[in-house]
Amino acid sequence: MVDVTVLGAGAFGLSVAWACLQRGAKVRVIDPYGVGAGSSGGVVGALAPHTPENWNDKKEFQFQSLIMAEAFWADVEETGGVSSGYGRTGRLQPVLNGRGLELARARQETSGALWRGQAKWRVISEEDAGPWAPHSPTGFLIHDTLSARMHPRMACASLAAAIQGKGGEITKEAPHEGQVVWATGWQGLVSLSQDMGRMVGNGVKGQAALLRLDRPDLPQLFADSVHVVPHVDGTVAIGTTSEREFDNPTSTDAQIDAVLERAFAAVPALKNAEVIERWAGVRPRAKSRAPMLGRHPLREGAFIANGGFKIGFGMAPKVGAVMADLILDGVDTIPDDFRPEASL
């Protein structure tokens, strides 16, 4: 008999399953499309924090999750023997103008208290940043040491191997037994909206690309609204678009070409790199813009973990922990902004 059935083998579903397994539950993950078949099987993997100011429950939750990530992924990799591609390599962002420089320096001060000495937010010169850094109009960049990266496909495979290595089951079809967790991605949010007769969540398409460029130890970059993420496998990811209206969820078009052009213009070190893949997928976005975690609003006795949108992998370690608390022990520590009611 299974104690917990998780529907969906993406970032949230696999993390909830892993957390429940670690606490001794018997777990089954069901996904008819396989592991990482949705947006969790993408290519970008930028785990980046909110700015250290105007602190709230969402920022604190994400901060805790990013701090947990190093031990979380190390444990996953040790159990399953498969690399997640995780690395806390930091991030560089150009400072665009005088007002931005003023804000960046103010955040450098507040980061000491809000990040509690566990990570740094610093303003550095373009010269100190080195040739990998994007050009900055002010000559200064923000360097934070909290940002990390993992390769989404590798991370899903790593979690799946750990789950199976610890005795969990991953299958495409099986009965729903025990406590049931709905982590069914954007289609699940659309279906929930239809069942409730109002929009509580939807999907936002994103397009990204992979370059062949071996820079695994360098920080990720964020310049001209483009993420540039070096991966451990000798690739660099570029992303992403945000498309609320789309016809084909997996097609790529001129929009990713425009993102690549902006990346090449902002980061000269990318210009000669070969584009080896263009990718598109749809990310689940709850109406509240925060993850939707807790008891399912329509299914008696069931739970929901959805709406990771662009920060699913960054939130995943903490999401798994709080959902396991609720599912197995009845202990609810989920922030109010993350509850399904916030989107209802």
**pLDDT digits over 125-139, tens only?**
999 999 999 999 999
Count CA atoms within 13 Å of residue 190 on its CB side.
Answer: 10
**What pLDDT score does 54 carry?**
95
270 in helix, strand or coil?
Answer: helix
254 token code pair: 């001129």
39: nearest Cα among 267, 316, 319: 316
Residues lower than pLDDT 50 in the chain: none
Question: Residue 181: enclosing H or E segment and its boundaries?
Answer: strand 179-182
- Give CA angle at 152 (146, 155), nearest 5°: 85
Q: What are phi and psi for residue 94, nearest 5 degrees?
A: -70, 150
Alpha helices in the chain (DSSP H): 11-22, 57-80, 98-114, 126-129, 152-165, 185-196, 254-266, 312-324
**What pLDDT score does 8 carry?**
98
**What pLDDT score does 244 carry?**
95
User: Using CA atoms, how far apart are residues 134 and 38, in angstroms rounded to an integer?
Assistant: 31
Close Cβ partners of 3 (under 8 Å, ≥ 6 residues apart): 20, 25, 26, 27, 178, 179, 328
**What pLDDT score does 252 carry?**
98
307 in helix, strand or coil?
Answer: coil
C-alpha separations of 67 from 124, 157, 314, 316 in Å: 23, 22, 10, 12
DSSP assignment letter at 88 = -
The answer to whether the beta carbons of residues 230 and 236 sit under 8 Å apart is: yes
Beta bridge partner(s), residue 210? 237, 277
Count CA atoms within 13 Å of residue 160 on its CB side.
Answer: 21
314 token code pair: 């960054």
For the stretch 255-272, what's the b/e string if a residue is b when 16 or more beta carbons lie within 10 angstroms of its beta carbon?
A: bbeebbeebbebbebbee
Residue with tokens 């025990």: 178
301 in helix, strand or coil?
Answer: coil
320 in helix, strand or coil?
Answer: helix
C-alpha separations of 256 from 202, 224, 243, 291 in Å: 21, 14, 11, 26
User: Using CA atoms, how far apart are residues 88 and 70, in angstroms rounded to an integer?
Assistant: 7
**What pLDDT score does 199 carry?**
96
Cis peptide before 145 (omega within 30 of 0): no
**What pLDDT score does 104 carry?**
98
**What pLDDT score does 56 carry?**
93
Close Cβ partners of 11 (under 8 Å, ≥ 6 residues apart): 40, 152, 155, 156, 308, 312, 313, 316
The answer to whether the beta carbons of residues 44 and 18 sit under 8 Å apart is: no
User: Using CA atoms, how far apart are residues 181 and 7, in angstroms rounded to an integer?
Assistant: 6
**What pLDDT score does 107 carry?**
97
**What pLDDT score does 302 carry?**
98
